Amino acid sequence: TICYSNLNVKIGGSHGGISVGADGATHQSIEEITLMRVLPNMKVVVPCDAIETRKATIQAGEVSGPVYIRFGRSPIPIITTKDTPFILGKAITMRKGKDVAIFACGIMVYEALEAARELDKKGISAGVINLHTVKPIDEEIIFKAAKETGAIVTAEEHQLSGGFGSAVTEVAVKQYSVPVEMVGIKDHFGKSGSPQELIQDFGLTRFDIIKAVEKVLKRKG
């Protein structure tokens, strides 16, 4: 009803991802990006930290129509400032790179930045794009990254099937045939554990992103 009638309803998803940890699968939402982004009229936003969440909430209130904002419960690093630009539908280049572009949303933006710093030591220049708005997605920055780097990695705290990585890939292939590797939860229900334990168990760490980068660069040739 909300989307069909394009009602001015804003939804805050407070249990996004695996941040609730010990509460387990029944309380962990790891499929809702897929569910939300297929609904006509729905905007989907996944902020990377508390500062960006505040900006997203304010802007969501300024636009007409349904908006879903995904956030978790666990403390996460602050990686933006009050002066960092934020516009719904416009991604933010957090770090420039020429060898590969890492697209991330939510808590995975921090992991992507840490991965990029480690990749520097290996002589790999990795760009990091904070694609906070999954829908409407910023097609222009995806095309630009695909053209300039020729390789893409996506990182999400979510099921891979139909999620953030799928959204990025759907856009990239419209104009460029580039290799893509996705980091995310691989067809699995949530489970109990601390958030950090689950991030490791599900392969969502900076080291998993590094492995994906190395794999996609081999495919790039």
Task: State pLDDT tens for residues 49-79.
Answer: 999 999 999 999 999 999 999 998 888 899 9
Sequence ranges of the domains in the chain: 10-220
The radius of gyration computed from the CA coordinates of the chain, to the nearest angstrom, equals 16
Task: State pLDDT tens for residues 111-136.
Answer: 999 999 999 999 999 999 999 999 99
Do 69 and 11 form a contact (C-beta atoms < 8 A)? yes
Query: Where are any strands of DSSP class E within 90-193?
Result: 92-95, 100-104, 126-130, 133-135, 152-159, 180-185
Largest CA distance in the chain: 52
* pLDDT band at residue 195 under the 50/70/90 scheme: confident
Rounded distance, CA 181 to CA 13, Å? 27
Pick the CATH number of 10-220 from 3.30.420.40, 3.40.640.10, 3.40.605.10, 3.40.50.920: 3.40.50.920
Q: Tokens standing for 5?
A: 């009638």
Rounded distance, CA 205 to CA 56, Å? 25
Closest CA to 181 of 205, 204, 201, 154: 154
Task: State the pTM of this model.
Answer: 0.96
Q: Tokens standing for 176?
A: 């460029």
Cβ-based neighbour number of residue 208 at 10 Å? 18
